Amino acid sequence: MTLAWTATEMMTVVSARALSSSDVCFVGIGLPSAACNLARLTHAPGITLIYESGTIATKPRVLPLSIGDGELCDTALTTVSVPEMFRYWLQGGRITVGFLPGAQIDRFANLNTTVIGPYDRPTTRLPGSGGAPEIMTHCGEIFVTMKQGRRSFVDRLDFVTTFGHGEGGDHRARLGIRTKGPTRLITDLCVFEPDPETREMIVTAIHPGATRDEIRDATGWPVRFAASVAETAIPTETELETLRDLHARTRRAHGGGV
């Protein structure tokens, strides 16, 4: 029997599949945390998860409410200070994959988490950068996870908070950045990957039920599709059951609040 799935579950499963046991992963709260722990509980038991609070090789039984959740420290191999985690682990090049979201993203996977509208008179003021610029610069590669829509997938960012592929091409290399930058943009409709030459994010896989017209309509720039576009494999029963059990345990642990 094939189980039905939600758009969020599809995004989580696709993100998890991209991880391996050899990865050292800088985890975010929310969907990235669910994806990394789904990978750990299924096909990538050896994955090393690092949260921004400094917990190294943590194996949470339930999903944390925040990076300061005691569950992370309780199940970690060790906990280091935030400066040590950023300087030694992140800037030292020891993290292979990082997850980032954004309020806005452009075709070169630059991110805005600062303001919507003019900087001096914004319509919305957002949380800001946090550690995102350092994560984007120093992780081996970056997976961006975002729901797709014209308000967030824009032709031009209102503010560049986090440098992805800049103006495209070799822009990262010209600035002396040696890491790959964004290698996957995983949405509720499809998966984008950077064009090898231009570094523009192009569609390489479409989720079951989504169409090219839907993708175009939900994107604020002219979407390019790869020469060969795959159909995303549907979530397996094992993936869905493991993910749902993880969320159920989390709800019970936090009194139904997650």
Domain ranges, ordered by start, for the chain? 7-253
Q: How confident is the model at residue 67 (pLDDT cuts 50, 70, 90)?
A: confident
Average pLDDT over residues 237-249: 97
Residue 245, Cβ neighbours under 10 Å: how many?
A: 11
Active site amino acids: 52
Average pLDDT over residues 215-233: 98
Percent of the chain with pLDDT over 90: 92
Residue 258 has pLDDT above 70, yes or no: no
Per-residue pLDDT, 80: 95
What is the per-residue pLDDT across 105-114, written as a single tens digit (0 to 9) for each?
Answer: 999 999 999 9
- CATH number (3.30.1600.10, 3.40.50.10800, 3.40.1080.10, 3.40.50.1110) of 7-253 reads 3.40.1080.10
Q: What is the pTM of this model?
A: 0.94
What is the per-residue pLDDT across 112-147, written as a single tens digit (0 to 9) for each?
Answer: 999 999 999 999 999 999 899 999 999 999 999 999
